Chains A and B, each alone.
Chain A
Amino acid sequence: MAVLLDVQSVSKAFGGLQALSSVSFTVGAGEIVGIIGPNGAGKTTLFNVVTGVYAPDRGRVVFRGEDVTGAAPHHVCKLGAARTFQVSKPFAALTVLQTVRIGALNRIPDMAGATAKALEVLELMGLVAKRDEPGRALTVMERKRLEMARALATQPSLLLLDEVAAGLRPNEIQDMIALVRGIAAGGVSVLIIEHVLEAVLRLSGRIVVLNHGEVIAQGRPDELVNDPRVIDAYLGEAYSLA
């Protein structure tokens, strides 16, 4: 399996807080990889480093064979890694179609072609009926779908999803799982950060467990649920509360 994303010993500190310490993992073509870990484990920071929002203090990020360490976010997107934001960032005053078309224009320079692509993605995400609504008028679920639609419209080879199931109702989570499976079946690799364990355990072929900015374990979901380190750091807390 060809390696699509190769994160090599990445470290990042904010002041005295070591958000990431020597984190390494890979995402292969066609894989769905999950990243789990308790709050403050460094999951979103990791996304921000991979997508160029932050440059790491040490380490390298290689995407499709190109060193993108510290590259601008739009460059990483053009190379084919598109992300969603944990706190969704809709273009509040723009319509759903406009928003998704902006993503599509990334690879399709003409408006008609980009519009067609945007509508195709909106169809997939079940947002066609909302095409003329402004971003601010959407519900939480719709905003998450819009985030994914915008990212997908850029035609990525790697989709990075930041907490797309969080805040959704159980039936919506089922829909979201089906959606992500559909996207992956279309040949897009997925790197997913998720608090909703059910979603991440069912979706991911492989899971990376972060705690205090370090990778404490990685492997198949069925291996990890029995790993005492993981139970201690994350599952224990979550399951005992549940």
Chain B
Amino acid sequence: MTLAVAILALALVLPVAAGPHLLTATIVALHAAFMALAWNLAAGYAGQFSLGHSLFYGIGAYASTVLYVRLGLTPWAGMFVGALLAGVVGTLLALGVYRYKVHGIFFALVTLGAAEVAKGIADNWAFIKGPVGILLTMQHAPRDFFFLRREPYYYVALAMLVVMILVSLALERSRLGQFFLAVREDEQAAEASGVDTYRYKTVAIGLSAALTAFAGSFYAQFYLYISPDTVLVFEPQLTMMLGTMVGGAGTALGPVIGSILFSGLGEALRNLPFLEGTRQVVIGSKMVYAVLLIVVLIYLPGGLVTLGQKRA
């Protein structure tokens, strides 16, 4: 508890000490941690290994952006509409997929396919500007979630992450969270314990989808440009998975630790002398990520949070 307060206090004053570069890197890390925790809700706690969470991320990004550009609705409200929409899409997808008893690797593939289909639709949908994407204007408009300085974005990202951690902790201590764990561990035994597995799997995906959408909206407001090639690709999904798997799936802290590690690593690799040009950096960092992921999964299958714990 004291440690948590100390970290939070440090985080609150960080912008004073940090230069713009470090601040941006930290925002990216907080954002990654938020979406990792959102994915972790379904994949880590309930064991529903979705590979299609970019779909929900994309829905969040597009909903707040399109509502702002077309209707002038402030993205502060638009992000909630996006979350609702992603929640509904996630729930319907889950209802359909689980109805036909699709699970495990097949569930992962179906969700991956769903995200691909969404990208195809977005690429061909003129109303949301197809593959060209939507550019937002850099401006000072706090009421519409636009800032010229980085600090406000930092505090929004920090607040979002704190809320997300609290949601995860509350889930762990709740009936819902316990039922998620039962579903993850053994569906037949869960059913025999009175847990409606169909219902709770669906709730897990719906809830996780809605929360993921908030991250998408934040992305749009921070980068001021979205397109199918940036938010509806595998990249956001990869960010969620790497942080969660390496940090520790099914915990509230693991995905945060993993995401911060990967964001920091990404920054460090960008500055290595022997990696020249964007292409080399991207390929080089992906190789490092892959090696790290494999090493952690072999030697610490529970993620970095299990470091120091006795092996059962």
The answer for the CA separation of A135 and B193 in the assembled complex, in Å, is 15
**Contact A89/B312 with A74-B194, A98-B178 known, Cβ cut-off 8 Å:** no
Residue in chain B with minimal CB distance to A48: B188
State whether the Cβ of A36 lies closer than 8 Å to any Cβ in chain B: no
B193 and A103 form a contact (CB under 8 A): yes
User: Which of the four size classes fits the interface of chain A?
Assistant: 35 or more
Contact with B along A120-153 (1 / 0, CB 8 A): 0000000000000011110000000000001101
Residue in A77, A92, A93, A101 whose CB lies within 8 Å of B194: A77
State whether the Cβ of B269 lies closer than 8 Å to any Cβ in chain A: no
Interfacial residues of chain B within 165-189, with CB under 8 A of chain A in the complex: 173-175, 178-179, 181-182, 185-186, 188-189
> How far, in Å, is A111 (CB) from chain B's closest CB?
6
**Contact A83/B192 with A74-B197, A111-B174, A137-B312 known, Cβ cut-off 8 Å:** yes
B174 and A73 form a contact (CB under 8 A): no
A78 and B186 form a contact (CB under 8 A): no
Residue in chain A with minimal CB distance to B198: A72
> How far, in Å, is B186 (CB) from chain A's closest CB?
5
Given A82-B192, A89-B188, A93-B250, 17 further pairs, Cβ under 8 A: A74-B197, A75-B196, A94-B185, A98-B178, A98-B181, A102-B178, A102-B190, A102-B195, A103-B193, A105-B175, A105-B178, A106-B194, A106-B195, A111-B173, A111-B175, A150-B189, A150-B193
> How far, in Å, is A241 (CB) from chain B's closest CB?
32
> How far, in Å, is B191 (CB) from chain A's closest CB?
4
The answer for the CA separation of A239 and B193 in the assembled complex, in Å, is 37
Which residues of the partner chain A approach B186 to less than 8 Å between Cβ atoms? 89-92
The answer for the CA separation of A72 and B99 in the assembled complex, in Å, is 13
State whether the Cβ of A114 lies closer than 8 Å to any Cβ in chain B: yes
B182 and A102 form a contact (CB under 8 A): yes
Contact with B along A66-110 (1 / 0, CB 8 A): 000000111101100011010001111110001001110111011
Residue in chain B with minimal CB distance to A137: B312
A74 and B195 form a contact (CB under 8 A): yes
> How far, in Å, is B234 (CB) from chain A's closest CB?
28
> How far, in Å, is B175 (CB) from chain A's closest CB?
5
A94 and B181 form a contact (CB under 8 A): yes
Residue in chain B with minimal CB distance to A114: B175
Which residues of the partner chain B approach A136 to less than 8 Å between Cβ atoms? 312
**Contact A77/B193 with A53-B188, A105-B179 known, Cβ cut-off 8 Å:** yes
Which residues of the partner chain A approach B198 to less than 8 Å between Cβ atoms? 72
Residue in chain B with minimal CB distance to A100: B193
Question: Closest 7 interchain pairs by CB?
Answer: A106-B194, A91-B185, A73-B191, A77-B194, A89-B189, A103-B193, A74-B196
Contact with A along B257-301 (1 / 0, CB 8 A): 000000000000000000000000000000000000000000000
The answer for the CA separation of A169 and B23 in the assembled complex, in Å, is 64
Which residues of the partner chain A approach B181 to less than 8 Å between Cβ atoms? 91, 93-94, 98, 102
Interface-centre pick from A53, A105, A135, A153 (highest chain B CB count, 10 A): A105
The answer for the CA separation of A72 and B182 in the assembled complex, in Å, is 16
The answer for the CA separation of A108 and B146 in the assembled complex, in Å, is 47
Interface-centre pick from B178, B196, B198 (highest chain A CB count, 10 A): B178
Which residues of the partner chain B approach A74 to less than 8 Å between Cβ atoms? 190-197
Residue in A82, A101, A107 whose CB lies within 8 Å of B178: A101
State whether the Cβ of A21 lies closer than 8 Å to any Cβ in chain B: no
Residue in chain B with minimal CB distance to A101: B178
